[in-house]
Amino acid sequence: MEGGVSFNMIKPIRIITRMDIKGPNLVKGIQFDGYRALGMAQDYAYLHYREGADEIIFYDTVASLYQRNNLLEFVTAVSKHIFIPLTVAGGIRSIDDIHKILRAGADKVAINTAAVYNPDLISEASKVFGSQCIVAGIEAKKRKDGTYENWVDYGRQPTGINAVDWSRRVVDLGAGEILLTSIDFEGTGKGFDIELTRMISESVSVPVIASGGAGSKEHVEEVITKGKADAIAIATIFHYNYAKPINRMFSASNGNCLRMGEQIDEGNMEFVNTFYGGLGEKRFDVISIAELRDYLQKKDIKCHNR
Amino acid sequence: MDPDFRIAIVDYDCGNLFSIQRALHELGIKSFITKNADEILASDKVILPGVGAFGDGMNSLRKQGLEDAVKKFAFSGKPLLGICLGMQLLMEESSEFGQHKGLGIVPGKVVRLQEKCHNGQRIKVPHIGWNDINFNISNPLFNGLNSGTYVYFLHSFCVSASDTDYYVAKSAYGDNEFCAVIQKERIIGMQFHPEISGPAGLRLLENFIFNI
Protein backbone atom coordinates (compact mmCIF):
# COMPACT_ATOMS: atom_id res chain seq x y z
CA MET A 1 0.00 0.00 0.00
CA GLU A 2 1.20 3.49 -0.83
CA GLY A 3 2.24 5.08 2.46
CA GLY A 4 1.65 8.68 1.44
CA VAL A 5 -2.11 8.52 1.47
CA SER A 6 -2.77 7.40 5.01
CA PHE A 7 0.03 9.63 6.24
CA ASN A 8 -1.78 12.69 5.09
CA MET A 9 -5.12 11.55 6.43
CA ILE A 10 -3.97 12.10 9.99
CA LYS A 11 -2.23 15.40 9.55
CA PRO A 12 -3.63 18.39 7.68
CA ILE A 13 -1.22 20.16 5.35
CA ARG A 14 -0.94 23.91 5.14
CA ILE A 15 -1.50 26.04 2.06
CA ILE A 16 0.68 29.12 2.37
CA THR A 17 0.86 32.11 0.07
CA ARG A 18 4.34 33.37 -0.57
CA MET A 19 4.62 37.05 -1.40
CA ASP A 20 7.92 38.43 -2.62
CA ILE A 21 8.01 42.13 -1.90
CA LYS A 22 10.03 44.97 -3.30
CA GLY A 23 9.15 48.46 -2.12
CA PRO A 24 5.35 48.69 -2.01
CA ASN A 25 4.92 46.01 -4.65
CA LEU A 26 4.30 42.33 -4.87
CA VAL A 27 6.84 41.01 -7.36
CA LYS A 28 7.49 37.66 -8.93
CA GLY A 29 10.52 36.45 -10.76
CA ILE A 30 11.98 33.32 -12.26
CA GLN A 31 14.69 31.55 -10.31
CA PHE A 32 15.07 34.52 -7.99
CA ASP A 33 15.61 36.91 -10.88
CA GLY A 34 13.77 38.93 -13.52
CA TYR A 35 11.17 40.50 -11.26
CA ARG A 36 7.91 41.97 -12.37
CA ALA A 37 5.59 43.99 -10.21
CA LEU A 38 2.14 42.46 -9.95
CA GLY A 39 0.49 45.13 -7.84
CA MET A 40 0.35 46.63 -4.39
CA ALA A 41 1.55 44.09 -1.85
CA GLN A 42 -0.91 45.30 0.77
CA ASP A 43 -3.90 44.66 -1.51
CA TYR A 44 -2.68 41.17 -2.27
CA ALA A 45 -2.08 40.41 1.41
CA TYR A 46 -5.69 41.27 2.34
CA LEU A 47 -6.94 39.38 -0.69
CA HIS A 48 -5.06 36.21 0.22
CA TYR A 49 -6.37 36.41 3.78
CA ARG A 50 -9.96 36.77 2.58
CA GLU A 51 -9.49 33.97 0.08
CA GLY A 52 -8.49 31.60 2.86
CA ALA A 53 -4.70 31.27 2.86
CA ASP A 54 -3.55 29.29 5.91
CA GLU A 55 -0.53 31.54 6.36
CA ILE A 56 1.36 34.21 4.44
CA ILE A 57 5.11 34.48 4.01
CA PHE A 58 6.39 37.96 3.19
CA TYR A 59 9.77 37.83 1.53
CA ASP A 60 11.81 41.02 1.37
CA THR A 61 13.58 40.46 -1.93
CA VAL A 62 16.34 43.02 -1.54
CA ALA A 63 16.85 42.92 2.22
CA SER A 64 19.97 40.76 2.28
CA LEU A 65 21.51 42.91 -0.41
CA TYR A 66 21.04 46.09 1.60
CA GLN A 67 21.57 44.31 4.92
CA ARG A 68 18.25 45.33 6.38
CA ASN A 69 14.63 44.31 6.34
CA ASN A 70 12.29 46.87 4.87
CA LEU A 71 9.04 45.27 5.84
CA LEU A 72 8.56 46.74 9.32
CA GLU A 73 6.04 49.36 8.23
CA PHE A 74 4.35 46.99 5.85
CA VAL A 75 3.87 44.31 8.54
CA THR A 76 2.68 46.90 11.06
CA ALA A 77 -0.02 47.95 8.61
CA VAL A 78 -1.28 44.60 7.34
CA SER A 79 -1.19 42.75 10.67
CA LYS A 80 -3.92 45.07 11.98
CA HIS A 81 -6.42 43.33 9.74
CA ILE A 82 -4.97 39.90 8.97
CA PHE A 83 -5.44 37.17 11.56
CA ILE A 84 -3.46 34.22 10.29
CA PRO A 85 0.21 33.44 10.94
CA LEU A 86 2.54 35.84 9.17
CA THR A 87 6.16 34.95 8.49
CA VAL A 88 8.75 37.50 7.44
CA ALA A 89 11.81 36.41 5.48
CA GLY A 90 14.74 38.39 4.19
CA GLY A 91 17.29 40.54 5.98
CA ILE A 92 16.70 39.19 9.49
CA ARG A 93 20.20 39.47 10.99
CA SER A 94 19.95 39.88 14.74
CA ILE A 95 17.88 39.29 17.87
CA ASP A 96 16.96 42.95 17.69
CA ASP A 97 15.67 42.55 14.10
CA ILE A 98 13.52 39.62 15.21
CA HIS A 99 12.22 41.50 18.22
CA LYS A 100 11.20 44.46 16.04
CA ILE A 101 9.47 42.46 13.34
CA LEU A 102 7.57 40.26 15.83
CA ARG A 103 6.46 43.36 17.67
CA ALA A 104 5.32 44.86 14.38
CA GLY A 105 2.95 41.92 13.98
CA ALA A 106 4.85 39.00 12.44
CA ASP A 107 4.38 35.61 14.11
CA LYS A 108 7.53 33.99 12.74
CA VAL A 109 10.74 34.90 10.98
CA ALA A 110 12.61 32.88 8.39
CA ILE A 111 16.38 33.17 8.50
CA ASN A 112 18.87 31.91 5.93
CA THR A 113 21.75 34.24 5.08
CA ALA A 114 22.44 35.43 8.62
CA ALA A 115 22.26 31.86 9.96
CA VAL A 116 24.92 30.69 7.53
CA TYR A 117 27.29 33.44 8.62
CA ASN A 118 26.33 33.09 12.29
CA PRO A 119 24.61 29.77 13.19
CA ASP A 120 24.37 30.90 16.84
CA LEU A 121 21.66 33.31 15.75
CA ILE A 122 19.27 30.35 15.32
CA SER A 123 20.04 28.88 18.75
CA GLU A 124 19.92 32.21 20.51
CA ALA A 125 16.71 33.28 18.74
CA SER A 126 14.94 30.01 19.49
CA LYS A 127 15.86 30.38 23.16
CA VAL A 128 14.65 33.96 23.34
CA PHE A 129 11.51 33.72 21.22
CA GLY A 130 10.81 29.96 21.17
CA SER A 131 11.48 27.51 18.35
CA GLN A 132 7.93 27.98 17.10
CA CYS A 133 8.73 31.38 15.64
CA ILE A 134 12.11 30.57 14.14
CA VAL A 135 11.95 29.18 10.62
CA ALA A 136 15.17 28.21 8.89
CA GLY A 137 15.20 29.20 5.25
CA ILE A 138 17.06 26.89 2.90
CA GLU A 139 17.52 27.83 -0.73
CA ALA A 140 18.90 24.78 -2.46
CA LYS A 141 20.44 24.30 -5.87
CA LYS A 142 21.43 20.93 -7.29
CA ARG A 143 25.14 20.35 -7.89
CA LYS A 144 26.58 18.36 -10.79
CA ASP A 145 27.22 15.40 -8.49
CA GLY A 146 23.51 15.24 -7.61
CA THR A 147 23.82 16.65 -4.10
CA TYR A 148 22.20 19.92 -3.08
CA GLU A 149 23.88 23.09 -1.91
CA ASN A 150 22.41 25.86 0.23
CA TRP A 151 22.58 29.33 -1.34
CA VAL A 152 22.13 32.66 0.40
CA ASP A 153 21.41 36.33 -0.33
CA TYR A 154 18.10 35.56 -2.05
CA GLY A 155 19.63 32.90 -4.28
CA ARG A 156 22.66 34.98 -5.26
CA GLN A 157 25.50 33.32 -3.33
CA PRO A 158 26.58 29.69 -3.06
CA THR A 159 27.82 28.62 0.38
CA GLY A 160 29.46 25.27 -0.22
CA ILE A 161 27.19 23.81 2.47
CA ASN A 162 25.29 20.59 1.76
CA ALA A 163 21.58 21.39 2.08
CA VAL A 164 20.63 18.10 3.80
CA ASP A 165 23.42 18.43 6.39
CA TRP A 166 22.46 22.03 6.93
CA SER A 167 18.79 21.15 7.49
CA ARG A 168 19.77 18.76 10.30
CA ARG A 169 22.09 21.36 11.76
CA VAL A 170 19.51 24.16 11.90
CA VAL A 171 16.99 21.84 13.56
CA ASP A 172 19.59 20.86 16.16
CA LEU A 173 20.19 24.55 16.72
CA GLY A 174 16.50 25.04 17.45
CA ALA A 175 14.68 25.96 14.24
CA GLY A 176 11.01 24.98 14.49
CA GLU A 177 10.29 24.71 10.76
CA ILE A 178 12.12 24.70 7.46
CA LEU A 179 11.17 26.86 4.50
CA LEU A 180 12.73 24.99 1.61
CA THR A 181 13.02 26.68 -1.77
CA SER A 182 14.39 25.03 -4.87
CA ILE A 183 16.37 27.63 -6.80
CA ASP A 184 16.34 25.45 -9.91
CA PHE A 185 12.56 25.13 -9.93
CA GLU A 186 11.50 28.45 -8.42
CA GLY A 187 9.20 30.41 -10.74
CA THR A 188 9.43 27.87 -13.55
CA GLY A 189 6.04 26.24 -13.12
CA LYS A 190 7.46 22.81 -13.91
CA GLY A 191 6.69 21.36 -10.50
CA PHE A 192 8.44 21.14 -7.14
CA ASP A 193 11.79 19.46 -6.67
CA ILE A 194 10.34 16.24 -5.25
CA GLU A 195 13.68 14.58 -4.59
CA LEU A 196 15.00 17.55 -2.64
CA THR A 197 11.82 17.98 -0.63
CA ARG A 198 11.60 14.33 0.31
CA MET A 199 15.27 14.17 1.28
CA ILE A 200 15.00 17.15 3.61
CA SER A 201 11.58 16.23 5.00
CA GLU A 202 12.72 12.73 5.90
CA SER A 203 15.92 13.91 7.54
CA VAL A 204 14.38 16.37 9.99
CA SER A 205 11.85 16.13 12.80
CA VAL A 206 10.21 19.51 12.14
CA PRO A 207 7.72 20.51 9.43
CA VAL A 208 9.07 21.32 5.97
CA ILE A 209 7.41 23.97 3.81
CA ALA A 210 8.06 23.23 0.14
CA SER A 211 8.44 26.26 -2.07
CA GLY A 212 9.33 26.87 -5.70
CA GLY A 213 7.98 25.44 -8.90
CA ALA A 214 4.23 24.96 -8.49
CA GLY A 215 2.60 25.23 -11.90
CA SER A 216 -0.55 23.21 -11.27
CA LYS A 217 -2.64 21.53 -8.60
CA GLU A 218 -1.16 18.17 -9.55
CA HIS A 219 2.31 19.49 -8.69
CA VAL A 220 1.05 20.41 -5.24
CA GLU A 221 -0.46 16.97 -4.72
CA GLU A 222 2.79 15.34 -5.81
CA VAL A 223 5.02 17.29 -3.41
CA ILE A 224 2.72 16.31 -0.53
CA THR A 225 2.33 12.61 -1.35
CA LYS A 226 5.76 11.92 -2.88
CA GLY A 227 7.84 14.78 -1.52
CA LYS A 228 6.43 14.42 2.02
CA ALA A 229 6.01 18.17 2.35
CA ASP A 230 4.16 19.26 5.49
CA ALA A 231 3.14 22.56 3.96
CA ILE A 232 3.42 24.22 0.59
CA ALA A 233 4.21 27.83 -0.21
CA ILE A 234 2.76 29.06 -3.46
CA ALA A 235 3.28 32.30 -5.32
CA THR A 236 2.72 32.38 -9.07
CA ILE A 237 -0.34 30.21 -9.57
CA PHE A 238 -2.21 32.09 -6.85
CA HIS A 239 -0.98 35.57 -7.70
CA TYR A 240 -1.70 35.17 -11.38
CA ASN A 241 -5.13 33.78 -10.62
CA TYR A 242 -6.08 36.84 -8.61
CA ALA A 243 -4.35 39.20 -11.02
CA LYS A 244 -6.53 38.09 -13.90
CA PRO A 245 -8.61 40.93 -15.27
CA ILE A 246 -12.20 41.03 -14.05
CA ASN A 247 -13.46 40.40 -17.53
CA ARG A 248 -11.00 38.82 -19.87
CA MET A 249 -12.96 39.94 -22.93
CA PHE A 250 -12.04 43.48 -22.11
CA SER A 251 -8.58 42.78 -20.83
CA ALA A 252 -7.04 45.62 -22.79
CA SER A 253 -9.19 48.24 -21.16
CA ASN A 254 -9.75 46.59 -17.80
CA GLY A 255 -6.28 45.21 -17.51
CA ASN A 256 -5.45 47.25 -14.47
CA CYS A 257 -8.03 45.66 -12.19
CA LEU A 258 -7.67 42.58 -10.07
CA ARG A 259 -10.44 40.05 -10.32
CA MET A 260 -11.40 41.02 -6.79
CA GLY A 261 -11.87 44.56 -7.99
CA GLU A 262 -8.84 46.26 -6.51
CA GLN A 263 -6.73 48.54 -8.62
CA ILE A 264 -3.23 47.50 -9.50
CA ASP A 265 -1.05 50.58 -9.25
CA GLU A 266 2.22 49.21 -10.47
CA GLY A 267 1.17 46.01 -12.15
CA ASN A 268 2.45 44.77 -15.41
CA MET A 269 -0.57 42.91 -16.68
CA GLU A 270 0.64 42.33 -20.19
CA PHE A 271 3.72 40.63 -18.87
CA VAL A 272 1.62 38.51 -16.59
CA ASN A 273 -0.94 37.56 -19.20
CA THR A 274 1.60 36.63 -21.83
CA PHE A 275 3.70 34.78 -19.25
CA TYR A 276 7.02 36.49 -19.00
CA GLY A 277 6.37 38.72 -21.97
CA GLY A 278 6.00 35.78 -24.32
CA LEU A 279 9.48 34.52 -23.52
CA GLY A 280 8.32 31.39 -21.79
CA GLU A 281 5.74 28.87 -22.76
CA LYS A 282 2.60 29.01 -20.70
CA ARG A 283 3.20 26.58 -17.89
CA PHE A 284 0.97 27.89 -15.16
CA ASP A 285 -2.51 26.62 -14.47
CA VAL A 286 -3.69 29.38 -12.21
CA ILE A 287 -5.99 28.39 -9.38
CA SER A 288 -7.72 29.94 -6.39
CA ILE A 289 -6.90 28.84 -2.87
CA ALA A 290 -10.40 27.38 -2.47
CA GLU A 291 -10.13 25.40 -5.72
CA LEU A 292 -6.77 23.97 -4.68
CA ARG A 293 -8.16 22.98 -1.29
CA ASP A 294 -11.14 21.24 -2.89
CA TYR A 295 -8.85 19.35 -5.24
CA LEU A 296 -6.55 18.17 -2.44
CA GLN A 297 -9.48 17.07 -0.30
CA LYS A 298 -10.81 15.00 -3.20
CA LYS A 299 -7.40 13.30 -3.22
CA ASP A 300 -7.82 12.43 0.48
CA ILE A 301 -5.31 15.04 1.58
CA LYS A 302 -6.59 16.66 4.73
CA CYS A 303 -6.44 20.43 4.72
CA HIS A 304 -8.06 23.44 6.28
CA ASN A 305 -11.77 23.38 5.51
CA ARG A 306 -13.54 26.72 5.44
CA MET B 1 -20.52 46.67 26.26
CA ASP B 2 -19.95 48.84 29.32
CA PRO B 3 -17.19 51.31 28.38
CA ASP B 4 -15.59 50.82 31.79
CA PHE B 5 -15.29 47.10 31.23
CA ARG B 6 -11.64 46.21 31.69
CA ILE B 7 -9.95 43.41 29.78
CA ALA B 8 -6.37 42.75 30.83
CA ILE B 9 -3.77 40.91 28.78
CA VAL B 10 -1.06 39.64 31.13
CA ASP B 11 2.44 40.65 30.07
CA TYR B 12 5.03 38.27 31.49
CA ASP B 13 7.43 38.47 28.52
CA CYS B 14 6.16 35.17 27.15
CA GLY B 15 3.49 35.90 24.66
CA ASN B 16 2.48 37.53 21.48
CA LEU B 17 0.48 40.12 23.39
CA PHE B 18 0.07 42.49 20.53
CA SER B 19 -1.56 40.03 18.15
CA ILE B 20 -4.20 39.31 20.80
CA GLN B 21 -4.76 43.01 21.33
CA ARG B 22 -4.99 43.60 17.56
CA ALA B 23 -7.56 40.83 17.24
CA LEU B 24 -9.67 42.33 20.03
CA HIS B 25 -9.30 45.76 18.45
CA GLU B 26 -10.59 44.40 15.14
CA LEU B 27 -13.67 43.24 17.10
CA GLY B 28 -14.09 46.73 18.54
CA ILE B 29 -13.04 45.53 22.00
CA LYS B 30 -10.71 47.64 24.12
CA SER B 31 -8.04 45.87 26.15
CA PHE B 32 -4.86 46.78 27.97
CA ILE B 33 -1.54 45.05 28.47
CA THR B 34 -0.28 44.92 32.04
CA LYS B 35 2.44 43.58 34.34
CA ASN B 36 0.73 44.97 37.41
CA ALA B 37 -0.89 42.56 39.93
CA ASP B 38 -3.40 45.13 41.20
CA GLU B 39 -4.50 45.99 37.68
CA ILE B 40 -5.04 42.31 36.94
CA LEU B 41 -7.14 41.85 40.07
CA ALA B 42 -9.22 44.95 39.27
CA SER B 43 -10.02 43.72 35.73
CA ASP B 44 -13.29 42.18 34.57
CA LYS B 45 -11.66 39.62 32.29
CA VAL B 46 -8.10 38.43 32.00
CA ILE B 47 -6.28 36.85 29.07
CA LEU B 48 -3.12 34.89 29.82
CA PRO B 49 -1.19 34.46 26.56
CA GLY B 50 1.95 32.40 26.20
CA VAL B 51 4.46 30.90 23.85
CA GLY B 52 7.59 28.96 24.69
CA ALA B 53 8.45 26.44 27.35
CA PHE B 54 6.39 25.73 30.50
CA GLY B 55 9.23 26.15 33.02
CA ASP B 56 10.32 29.48 31.54
CA GLY B 57 6.73 30.69 31.51
CA MET B 58 6.11 29.84 35.17
CA ASN B 59 9.45 31.33 36.23
CA SER B 60 8.66 34.50 34.40
CA LEU B 61 5.19 34.78 35.97
CA ARG B 62 6.72 34.23 39.40
CA LYS B 63 9.59 36.64 38.85
CA GLN B 64 7.12 39.38 37.93
CA GLY B 65 5.06 38.61 41.00
CA LEU B 66 2.02 37.70 38.92
CA GLU B 67 1.47 34.06 39.92
CA ASP B 68 -0.71 34.87 42.91
CA ALA B 69 -2.60 37.61 41.08
CA VAL B 70 -3.61 35.29 38.24
CA LYS B 71 -4.61 32.55 40.71
CA LYS B 72 -6.59 34.95 42.87
CA PHE B 73 -8.33 36.37 39.83
CA ALA B 74 -9.28 32.87 38.65
CA PHE B 75 -10.60 31.79 42.02
CA SER B 76 -12.66 35.00 42.30
CA GLY B 77 -14.99 33.54 39.67
CA LYS B 78 -14.24 36.14 36.99
CA PRO B 79 -13.52 34.87 33.46
CA LEU B 80 -9.94 33.94 32.61
CA LEU B 81 -8.72 32.81 29.19
CA GLY B 82 -5.38 31.02 28.83
CA ILE B 83 -4.04 30.73 25.31
CA CYS B 84 -1.58 27.99 24.24
CA LEU B 85 1.13 27.97 26.95
CA GLY B 86 -1.26 30.18 28.93
CA MET B 87 -3.72 27.26 28.91
CA GLN B 88 -1.08 24.75 29.98
CA LEU B 89 0.02 26.98 32.87
CA LEU B 90 -3.49 26.61 34.35
CA MET B 91 -2.69 22.98 35.16
CA GLU B 92 -0.91 21.60 38.23
CA GLU B 93 2.31 20.39 36.61
CA SER B 94 4.21 19.73 33.40
CA SER B 95 7.03 17.42 32.40
CA GLU B 96 8.41 19.73 29.68
CA PHE B 97 12.21 19.90 30.20
CA GLY B 98 11.94 18.50 33.77
CA GLN B 99 9.11 18.64 36.27
CA HIS B 100 7.53 22.04 36.83
CA LYS B 101 4.67 23.18 39.01
CA GLY B 102 1.93 25.14 37.29
CA LEU B 103 -0.75 27.51 38.58
CA GLY B 104 -2.93 24.60 39.70
CA ILE B 105 -6.17 26.32 38.71
CA VAL B 106 -7.40 23.25 36.82
CA PRO B 107 -6.60 19.77 38.23
CA GLY B 108 -4.38 17.76 35.91
CA LYS B 109 -1.06 17.92 34.11
CA VAL B 110 0.63 18.71 30.81
CA VAL B 111 1.98 15.86 28.67
CA ARG B 112 3.91 15.54 25.41
CA LEU B 113 2.20 14.65 22.14
CA GLN B 114 3.07 11.15 20.91
CA GLU B 115 4.98 10.92 17.63
CA LYS B 116 4.41 7.22 17.04
CA CYS B 117 1.19 6.11 15.39
CA HIS B 118 -0.50 2.71 15.66
CA ASN B 119 0.26 1.98 11.99
CA GLY B 120 4.00 2.40 12.57
CA GLN B 121 4.20 5.83 11.00
CA ARG B 122 5.48 8.87 12.83
CA ILE B 123 4.06 12.35 12.90
CA LYS B 124 6.11 15.47 13.42
CA VAL B 125 6.06 17.20 16.78
CA PRO B 126 5.57 20.16 17.28
CA HIS B 127 2.09 20.07 15.83
CA ILE B 128 2.11 23.14 13.62
CA GLY B 129 -0.83 24.09 11.49
CA TRP B 130 -4.58 24.20 11.11
CA ASN B 131 -6.66 21.44 12.56
CA ASP B 132 -10.34 20.82 13.18
CA ILE B 133 -11.86 21.07 16.63
CA ASN B 134 -15.02 19.26 17.65
CA PHE B 135 -17.40 20.57 20.26
CA ASN B 136 -20.97 20.75 21.44
CA ILE B 137 -22.54 23.78 19.76
CA SER B 138 -24.83 24.43 22.72
CA ASN B 139 -21.88 25.91 24.64
CA PRO B 140 -22.09 29.72 24.24
CA LEU B 141 -18.32 29.81 23.79
CA PHE B 142 -18.93 28.30 20.34
CA ASN B 143 -21.81 30.54 19.29
CA GLY B 144 -21.95 31.00 15.53
CA LEU B 145 -19.43 28.24 14.80
CA ASN B 146 -19.83 24.71 13.51
CA SER B 147 -18.18 21.74 15.14
CA GLY B 148 -15.30 20.74 12.86
CA THR B 149 -14.13 24.31 12.39
CA TYR B 150 -10.38 24.78 11.79
CA VAL B 151 -8.02 26.72 14.02
CA TYR B 152 -4.25 27.20 14.13
CA PHE B 153 -2.15 25.07 16.52
CA LEU B 154 1.48 25.40 17.49
CA HIS B 155 2.44 23.08 20.35
CA SER B 156 4.38 20.00 21.44
CA PHE B 157 2.48 19.41 24.68
CA CYS B 158 -1.18 19.17 25.59
CA VAL B 159 -3.20 19.09 28.80
CA SER B 160 -4.36 15.95 30.54
CA ALA B 161 -6.99 16.98 33.07
CA SER B 162 -8.11 14.81 36.00
CA ASP B 163 -11.69 15.25 34.83
CA THR B 164 -12.20 14.98 31.06
CA ASP B 165 -15.61 16.64 31.48
CA TYR B 166 -13.57 19.83 31.38
CA TYR B 167 -12.74 19.13 27.72
CA VAL B 168 -15.25 21.19 25.80
CA ALA B 169 -13.48 20.88 22.42
CA LYS B 170 -11.21 18.14 21.17
CA SER B 171 -8.85 17.71 18.28
CA ALA B 172 -6.72 14.90 16.89
CA TYR B 173 -3.17 14.77 15.56
CA GLY B 174 -1.78 11.41 14.54
CA ASP B 175 -2.95 9.05 17.27
CA ASN B 176 -3.24 11.86 19.81
CA GLU B 177 -6.76 12.85 20.70
CA PHE B 178 -6.24 15.92 22.80
CA CYS B 179 -8.05 18.74 24.53
CA ALA B 180 -8.37 21.82 22.28
CA VAL B 181 -10.49 23.86 24.69
CA ILE B 182 -10.77 23.29 28.42
CA GLN B 183 -13.44 24.89 30.56
CA LYS B 184 -13.90 24.81 34.30
CA GLU B 185 -16.74 27.18 35.04
CA ARG B 186 -15.50 30.56 33.77
CA ILE B 187 -11.88 29.46 33.38
CA ILE B 188 -11.15 28.73 29.74
CA GLY B 189 -8.02 27.43 28.05
CA MET B 190 -7.43 27.25 24.30
CA GLN B 191 -4.56 25.10 23.07
CA PHE B 192 -4.59 26.82 19.66
CA HIS B 193 -4.10 30.50 18.86
CA PRO B 194 -7.49 32.17 18.32
CA GLU B 195 -5.74 35.47 17.51
CA ILE B 196 -4.26 33.97 14.34
CA SER B 197 -7.04 31.51 13.48
CA GLY B 198 -8.86 33.73 10.99
CA PRO B 199 -12.56 34.61 11.33
CA ALA B 200 -13.27 31.50 13.47
CA GLY B 201 -10.59 32.53 15.96
CA LEU B 202 -11.95 36.06 16.15
CA ARG B 203 -15.39 34.64 16.85
CA LEU B 204 -14.04 32.53 19.72
CA LEU B 205 -12.42 35.59 21.28
CA GLU B 206 -15.63 37.56 20.82
CA ASN B 207 -17.63 34.75 22.45
CA PHE B 208 -15.25 34.64 25.39
CA ILE B 209 -15.65 38.38 25.90
CA PHE B 210 -19.44 38.52 25.53
CA ASN B 211 -20.73 35.07 26.51
CA ILE B 212 -18.55 33.82 29.36
Predicted complex ipTM: 0.91
CA A69 to chain B, closest CA, distance in angstroms equals 20
Contact A180, A150 (CB under 8 A): no
The strand pair at B167-173 and B127-135 is best described as antiparallel
Q: Given this model, what pLDDT does residue A254 score? A: 43
pLDDT in tens, B45-76: 999 998 878 888 899 999 999 999 999 999 99
Q: How far is A287 from chain B (nearest CA, A)?
A: 21
Q: Where are the alpha helices (DSSP H) in A118-274?
A: 120-129, 163-173, 194-203, 217-225, 236-243, 251-254, 269-273
Chain B contacts to A (CB-CB under 8 A): 16, 18-19, 22-23, 25-26, 51-53, 117, 119, 121, 123-126, 128-132, 148, 150, 152, 154, 172-175, 193, 195-199, 201-202
Please name the helix (run of DSSP H) or strand (run of DSSP E) that holds residue A292, with its range, or none.
helix A289-298
CB contact under 8 A, A83 and B199: yes
> Residue A271: its pLDDT value, please?
54
Q: Does A83 touch chain B (CB under 8 A)?
A: yes
Q: Across the interface, do A54 and B174 touch by the CB < 8 Å criterion?
A: no
Q: What is the pLDDT of residues B119-132, one digit of tens each?
A: 888 888 889 999 99
What is the rounded CA–CA span in Å between residue B206 and residue A128?
31
A24 vs A172, which has greater pLDDT? A172
For the stretch A270-295, pLDDT in tens is 554 455 555 555 567 889 999 999 99
- pLDDT score at A249: 41
Active-site residue, selected from the candidate residues A43, A139, A193, A221: A139
Q: Quick check: A262 contacting B, CB < 8 Å?
A: no
- Per-residue pLDDT of B81-116, as tens digits, reads 999 999 999 999 998 878 999 999 999 999 999 988
Q: What is the CA radius of gyration of chain A?
A: 18
Give tens-digit pLDDT for A248-274. 344 344 444 444 444 443 344 455 445
Contact residues on chain A for B52, CB-CB shorter than 8 A: 129-130, 132
Q: What was the pLDDT predicted at B122?
A: 82
The residue in chain B having the minimum alpha-carbon distance to the alpha carbon of residue A4 is: B121
- The verdict on a CB contact (< 8 Å) between B22 and A105 is yes
Q: Which residues of A touch B197 (CB under 8 A)?
A: 83-84
pLDDT, averaged across chain B: 93
How much is the average pLDDT of A207-223? Answer: 95
pLDDT, position A188: 81
Specify the pLDDT at position A132: 86
pLDDT for the residue B201: 98
Question: Nearest-CA residue of chain A relative to B132?
Answer: A304
Q: Which residues of chain A lie closer than 8 angstroms to B19, CB-CB? A: 79, 83, 105, 107
Q: What percent of chain B has pLDDT over 90?
A: 81
**Cβ atoms of residues A232 and A203 within 8 Å:** no
Any B CB within 8 A of A174 CB: no
Q: Is the pLDDT of residue B147 over 80?
A: yes
Q: Is the pLDDT of residue A29 over 90?
A: no
For the entire predicted model, the pTM comes to 0.89
Q: Residue A230 carries which side chain, given as an amino acid letter?
A: D
Give the minimum alpha-carbon distance from A185 to chain B in angstroms, rounded to a whole number. 25
What's residue A253's pLDDT? 41
Top-confidence residue, A29 or A7 = A29
Whether the per-residue pLDDT at A36 is higher than 80: the answer is: no
Q: What is the pLDDT of residue A64?
A: 57
Percent of all residues in chain B with a pLDDT value above 70, rounded to a whole number: 99
pLDDT at A80 over 90: yes
DSSP reduced 3-state for A2: coil
Q: Which residues of B are identified as catalytic? A: 84, 193, 195
Instruction: Point out the least confidently predicted range of A59-68, A99-108, A171-180, A290-299.
Output: A59-68
Region B132-140 average pLDDT = 96
| Chain A CB contacts of B152 below 8 Å | 54, 84-85
pLDDT digit string, tens, across residues B151-174: 999 998 999 999 999 999 999 999
pLDDT at A284: 77
Residue of A75 and A306 predicted with greater confidence: A75
> Using a CB-CB distance cutoff of 8 angstroms, which residues of chain B are in contact with residue A50?
none
Q: How far is the C-alpha of A204 from the C-alpha of B100, rounded, in Å? A: 28
Q: Where are the alpha helices (DSSP H) in B11-136?
A: 17-26, 37-41, 54-63, 67-75, 85-88
Question: Does the pLDDT at position A134 exceed 60?
Answer: yes
Residues in chain A: 306
Q: Quick one: what percent of chain A has pLDDT higher than 70?
A: 79
By the 10 Å C-beta count (0-12 exposed, 13-18 middle, 19+ buried), A250 is classed as exposed
pLDDT at A62 (0 to 100): 76
**Nearest residue to A243 via CA among A269, A217, A265, A266:** A269
Q: Is A50 on the interface with B (CB under 8 A)?
A: no
